[in-house]
Amino acid sequence: MLPAELRQQDQIEAGQEFAVKRLDGGRYVPTRLAPRRNEGRAQLLQACPVRGWFQPLDRSATTNDVASRRDE
């Protein structure tokens, strides 16, 4: 566990992942791993203060309909 002072200086938050490389004689170098793609995206969307803002598109037309109109 890292001391609070170091976590604050480097903005390390709970749950962040690190790779640890052993140098020698008990010396180690932790390297912060990049977050996974879209990590936290679901929580961000769920935190939206406005419920019901999303309206699905009309699905009566398909891409085949669009292509056939273009060919006319």
**Domain boundaries in the chain?**
1-34
Q: Which residue carries 């009566």 as its tokens?
A: 60
Does the predicted TM-score (pTM) go above 0.85?
no
What's the pLDDT tens digit per position in 38-50?
777 888 877 877 7
- Give the three-class secondary structure for 25: coil
What's the pLDDT tens digit per position in 17-39?
889 999 988 899 989 888 777 77
Give residues with Cβ within 8 angstroms of 29, minimum separation 6: 20, 21, 23
Residue 70: alpha-carbon gap to chain centroid: 38
